[in-house]
């Protein structure tokens, strides 16, 4: 995307400045900020979605339940909450690759994917991915989907939040769920990147 990439140091400095201003103005307390950090590090985020994907890859019965009703299947694992009330999982296969967007704003399943990336919220991605998904995947993400694979774009909304069940990579047959989860990225669950090879 065309947005300037910031270094981790620049991001950390901005976060610290915002945190200081919010505390100084009485908008937030240090305890509230610590709790928010804890939530996004441990209770919501792509690591939780990755654990769901790994379970689906390892347990065919769970996978069926996940594809049939993602919200209920995630709840079985203690995953859910705000922005995750009505989730739908779409499965990548040898013939179909799925990509998620929200053309109206930035609706997104926070409990399984964490905070949406900046590019997901940008109008350029939201409009272009619908019109020219292969080109966006290739040019903006370096992800080339073969012409033989159909690309489907799913439009999330406040009523329905989609996310992708990526294909399990070859060569992972002997891996346990923890090792499988380590291969899954947020981008692979949005559909803009592949799962890492082991």
Question: What are 95-133's pLDDT values in tens digits?
Answer: 999 999 999 888 888 888 888 888 998 999 999 999 999
Asked whether the whole model's pTM tops 0.75, one would answer yes
- The residue ranking higher by pLDDT, 64 or 24, is 64
Tell me the average pLDDT of the chain: 89
**Which is nearest to 181 in space by CA: 169, 163, 192?**
169
What average pLDDT does range 60-82 have in this prediction?
90
Q: Which CATH class is domain 45-190?
A: alpha beta
Query: d(Cα 132, Cα 141) in Å, to the nearest integer?
Result: 13
User: Where along the chain do its domains lie?
Assistant: 8-40, 45-190
Question: What are the backbone dihedrals phi and psi of residue 17, each rounded to the nearest 5 degrees, phi first?
Answer: -65, -45
Q: Which residues are catalytic?
A: 102, 105-107
Q: Which two tokens mark 173?
A: 């047959």
Residue 188 annotated as binding site: no
Q: What is residue 147's predicted lDDT score, i.e. its pLDDT?
A: 95
The neighbouring-strand residues paired with 163 are 89
Q: pLDDT band at residue 2, thresholds of 50, 70 and 90?
A: very low
Question: Would the pLDDT of 43 be above 90?
Answer: no
User: Which secondary-structure segment (H or E) carries 150?
Assistant: strand 150-155
pLDDT band of residue 81 (cuts 50, 70, 90) is low
156 known member of a binding site: no
Give the C-alpha separation, 12 to 4, whole Å: 16
Was 74 annotated as part of a binding site? no
107 marked as part of a ligand binding site: yes
């Amino acid at each position: 995307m065309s947005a300037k990439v910031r270094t981790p140091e620049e991001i950390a400095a901005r976060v610290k400045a915002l945190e200081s201003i919010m505390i100084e103005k009485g908008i937030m307390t240090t305890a509230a900020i610590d709790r928010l950090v804890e939530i996004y590090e441990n209770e919501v985020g792509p690591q939780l979605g990755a654990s769901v994907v790994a379970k689906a890859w390892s347990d065919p019965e769970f996978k069926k339940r996940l594809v049939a009703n993602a919200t209920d299947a995630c709840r079985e694992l203690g995953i859910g909450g705000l922005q995750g009330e009505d989730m739908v999982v779409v499965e990548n296969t040898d013939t179909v690759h799925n990509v998620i967007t929200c053309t109206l704003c930035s609706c997104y399943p926070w409990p399984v994917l964490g905070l949406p990336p900046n590019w997901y919220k940008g109008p350029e991605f939201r409009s272009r991915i619908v019109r020219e998904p292969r080109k966006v995947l290739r040019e903006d993400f370096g992800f080339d989907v073969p012409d033989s694979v159909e690309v489907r774009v799913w439009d999330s909304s406040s009523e329905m939040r989609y996310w992708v069940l990526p294909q399990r990579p070859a060569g992972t047959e002997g891996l346990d769920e923890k090792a499988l989860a380590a291969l899954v990225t947020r981008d692979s669950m949005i559909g803009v990147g592949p799962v890492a090879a082991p």
